[in-house]
């Protein structure tokens, strides 16, 4: 339906020119102002239904700027009394329409507000440079032929810039919503590029009100049709490395645009061009620093996740293995002792079967918290060994000290009370603890200590549970 309406719009434009040749210019201006407004409305409608809201909003703003430029052209020709003049303010709005589009291409998804603020500042600076550059060649009311030629060159660069980068963003997009947006933007940008090139370089002598005006309708009506058609995007087949490279490089689009415009201004405004070069570099650098800090923060979070058990918050099995080997090697070099505790929650399977997994998870968290609270020394490490089993590495302690710690942990867990579905029902939990200690370490392998601790835990469970049993490390082969 949208495509048929677009065709009817172009047909009505042609019929109006044919029926009212004496008023062709005014009629054509009306169609040329309404076409981008319709496209802007379609983009605003799509914005409310898409996750790529920033992109559709920026595109709608750009289209409103373009419509404003055409409206100023209409005023100049029909009311201002200077037909076929090229008002500089109108030219400025035509140029500024590309600033929101450039911002949309440079804006990665899910960015925090301060990065959006940096991009917004660069976009505003780009708009200001466009403003200065435009009025270097034009006045508010008119532009000489030489100025128009320079502005056409700037239009060509801007249009090609937008078309190329919109296509790149589309080809490298993995997210369906953003892929749909960049598809619409790329189609519009390439059709607009061809239309503008024809109007600016071929039909240069044609006045508004002729058949060439029908071409100007096309990119805007095409965009409106694409925006209104919510066609599902196919799964992207973009190589992952290319997608990541484009996503990482997209913030450079705004600084690149600033550098291009600054280069165009070197002759007319050298000092402002230097400012543009400097701010483009500083903005890109500042954004890079912020992104690097965020990457480091995410890496820190990943490091924590790699070392911490997600359910209980204590060290995971991988971290336990590393700590055990590191403390074993340190004790072997220093001649200190080392002890290990293995802790198992008594009858945990029956607990889960009776009260359900949510309360079972709560039990694991409560036991882990109790064990960690008893391990007061910074060198003691509590880890989830697997399932309902925990392990505690206790370096540099006496036999009495480690046994006292094990008994403290057992009592702390025995005092826990978990609340079931019935608030009146409080459930107790107990643990069995196996303990083993090595006074003088001569081997490079901590396996005998693990075996002795595990055997002690087995004995504690075999003799009734809810108790601490000490194991003994057998003969350890010398390193």
Instruction: List the catalytic residues.
Output: 388
Instruction: Return the bridge partners of 382, or none.
Output: 392
Q: Closest Cα partner for 154 from 85, 187, 200, 87?
A: 200
CA distance 8 to 3: 9
Neighbouring CB atoms inside 10 A of 32's CB total 22
Calculate Rg over the CA atoms of the chain. Answer: 36
Integer CA distances (angstroms), 389 to 312, 362, 432, in order: 12, 15, 10
Q: Closest Cα partner for 412 from 456, 470, 385, 372?
A: 372
Q: Tell me if 383 sits within 8 A of 320, measured CB to CB.
A: yes
Q: Tell me if 17 sits within 8 A of 24, measured CB to CB.
A: yes
Spell out the residues 6+ positions from residue 96 whose beta carbon is closer than 8 angstroms to its own. Answer: 65, 127, 130, 131
CA distance 368 to 465: 18
Q: Tell me if 191 sits within 8 A of 218, measured CB to CB.
A: yes
Going by their DSSP bridges, the two strands 431-438 and 418-419 should be labelled as unpaired
Residue 110 φ/ψ region, left for φ over 0, alpha for ψ in the -120 to 50 degree band, beta for the rest: left
Residue 356 φ/ψ region, left for φ over 0, alpha for ψ in the -120 to 50 degree band, beta for the rest: left
For 61-100, letters b (16+ CB in 10 Å) and e give bbbbbbbbbbbbbbebbeeeeeeebbbbbbbbbbbbbbbb
Q: Tell me if 466 sits within 8 A of 431, measured CB to CB.
A: yes
Both tokens of residue 279? 């701010």
């Amino acid at each position: 339906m949208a495509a048929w309406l677009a065709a009817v719009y172009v047909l009505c434009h042609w019929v109006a020119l044919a029926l009212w040749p004496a008023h062709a210019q005014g009629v054509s201006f009306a169609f040329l102002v309404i076409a981008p407004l319709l496209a802007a409305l379609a983009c605003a409608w799509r914005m409310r239904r898409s996750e790529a809201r920033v992109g559709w909003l920026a595109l709608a703003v750009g289209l409103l700027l373009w419509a404003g430029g055409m409206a100023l052209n209409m005023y100049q020709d029909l009311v201002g009394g200077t037909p076929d003049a090229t008002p500089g303010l109108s030219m400025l709005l035509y140029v500024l329409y590309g600033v929101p589009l450039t911002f949309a291409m440079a804006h990665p998804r899910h960015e925090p507000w301060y990065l959006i603020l940096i991009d917004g500042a660069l976009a505003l600076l780009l708009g200001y440079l466009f403003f200065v550059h435009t009025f270097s060649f034009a006045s508010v009311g008119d532009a000489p032929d030489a100025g128009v030629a320079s502005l056409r060159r700037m239009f060509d660069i801007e249009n090609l810039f937008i078309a190329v980068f919109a296509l790149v963003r589309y080809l490298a997009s993995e997210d369906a919503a953003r892929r749909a947006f960049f598809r619409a933007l790329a189609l519009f940008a390439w059709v607009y590029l061809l239309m503008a090139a024809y109007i600016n370089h071929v039909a240069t002598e044609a006045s508004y009100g002729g058949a060439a005006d029908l071409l100007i309708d096309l990119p805007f009506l095409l965009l409106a049709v694409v925006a209104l058609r919510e066609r599902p995007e196919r799964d992207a087949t973009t190589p992952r490395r290319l997608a990541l490279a484009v996503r990482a490089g997209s913030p450079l689009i705004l600084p690149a645009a600033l550098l291009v415009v600054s280069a165009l201004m070197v002759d007319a405004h050298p000092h402002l061009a230097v400012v543009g070069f400097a701010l483009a570099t500083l903005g890109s650098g500042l954004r890079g620093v912020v992104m690097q800090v965020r990457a480091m923060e995410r890496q820190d979070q990943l490091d924590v996740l790699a070392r911490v058990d997600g359910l209980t918050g204590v060290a995971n099995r991988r971290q336990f293995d590393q700590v055990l080997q590191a403390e074993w090697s340190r004790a072997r070099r220093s001649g200190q002792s080392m002890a290990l505790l293995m802790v198992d929650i008594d009858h945990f399977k029956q607990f889960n079967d009776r009260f359900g997994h949510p309360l079972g998870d709560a039990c694991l968290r409560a036991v882990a918290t109790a064990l960690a609270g008893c391990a007061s020394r910074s060198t003691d490490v509590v880890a989830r060994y697997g399932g309902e089993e925990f392990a505690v590495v206790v370096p540099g302690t006496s036999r009495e000290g480690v046994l006292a710690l094990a008994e403290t942990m057992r009592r702390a867990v025995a005092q826990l009370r978990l609340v079931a579905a019935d608030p009146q029902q409080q459930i107790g939990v107990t643990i069995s603890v196996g303990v083993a200690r090595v006074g003088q370490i001569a081997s490079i392998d901590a396996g005998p200590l693990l075996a002795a601790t595990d055997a002690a835990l087995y004995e504690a469970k075999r003799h009734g549970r809810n108790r601490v049993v000490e194991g003994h490390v057998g003969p350890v082969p010398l390193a």
